[in-house]
Amino acid sequence: MSSAKMEDYLKAVYECQREGEGPVSTSRVAEVLDVTPPTVTSMLEKLAERGLVEREKYRGVRLTREGETVALEVVRHHRLLETYLTEQLGYDWAEVHDEADRLEHHISEEFERRVAEALDDPRVDPHGDPIPTDSLEPVDENAGATLDECAEGQRVVVSRVRDRDPEELAYLDEAGVTPGTELVVEEVAPIDMVTVRLCEGETVSLPAEVTETLVVTAPEDTPEGSSGATP
């Protein structure tokens, strides 16, 4: 049985793996969890001994299938809790990440089942992240492109917001750019700003650090059940 701390590390490796194809470095895990590299090295050794990660010398680690299953269960708990907090308890989407972090290790499978049932088995959380099913099969974490990759004139729908900074989320909410929002790329400026037009006709200029966290798809590719505002 894994501890809450082990689960935190497995979830961190899982989230880093979705950013790229290669092994996840010790320094990257340390950055995500805000701990020192030696602390990460020690924990990764323990996880490797348990068969939860595979280590590649001088490169980093990958989750084993068993490690991925543990991570997916934690991710499922986390994203269901975020959805429950927003839809049933009135939390703002900018508040739920830290709250779900505190709760994700401590709910029973029965509680998880009842939450999913109460929410009618949602496919995505308030930020548009896919919620693993109860079978804990791998989910597609890389569908779509980021807004900064789009060309002028392109019409897209925001499917996910990867940023979890409360101020950034509040900014996007005020600007009306949330999962489910359809928009047109008006201008890609050389000064790392992207101007988009919303369906209501309003235009919003977004800095590069924000557009890099906005995952978008073609309008017909938007999954049913996406959270957030709809145009």
Q: Would you list the domain boundaries of the chain?
A: 4-63, 76-139, 145-221
Express each pLDDT in 158-200 by its tens digit: 999 998 899 999 999 999 999 999 999 999 998 889 999 998 8
Residue 224's pLDDT is 53
pLDDT, position 21: 66
Matching CATH number, 76-139, of 2.170.190.11, 3.10.440.10, 2.40.10.10, 1.10.60.10: 1.10.60.10
Average pLDDT of 16-22?
A: 80
> Does residue 227 surpass a pLDDT of 60?
no
Asked whether the predicted pLDDT for residue 225 surpasses 60, the reply is: no
**Measuring CA to CA, how many Å separate 171 from each of 71, 174, 186?**
30, 5, 20
- Residues 6 or more apart whose CB falls under 8 angstroms from that of 93 comprise 82, 86, 126, 127, 169, 173, 178, 227, 228
What is the distance between the alpha carbons of residues 173 and 118, in angstroms, rounded to a whole number?
Answer: 26
Give every CB contact of residue 217 below 8 A, 6+ residues apart in sequence. 143, 144, 145, 156, 157, 159
Beta bridge partners of 53: 63
In terms of DSSP bridges, do strands 193-198 and 203-207 run parallel, antiparallel, or are they unpaired? antiparallel
Q: Quick: pLDDT tens for 26-40.
A: 999 999 999 999 999
| Residues 83-123: tens digit of each pLDDT | 999 999 999 999 999 999 999 999 999 999 999 999 999 99
CATH number belonging to domain 4-63 = 1.10.10.10
Say yes or no: domain 145-221 is CATH 2.30.30.90.
Answer: yes
Identify how many contiguous H helices and E strands the chain contains and give both numbers.
8, 8
| pLDDT tens by residue, 58-94 | 899 999 999 999 999 999 999 999 999 999 999 999 9
For the chain, give the percent of residues with pLDDT over 90.
81
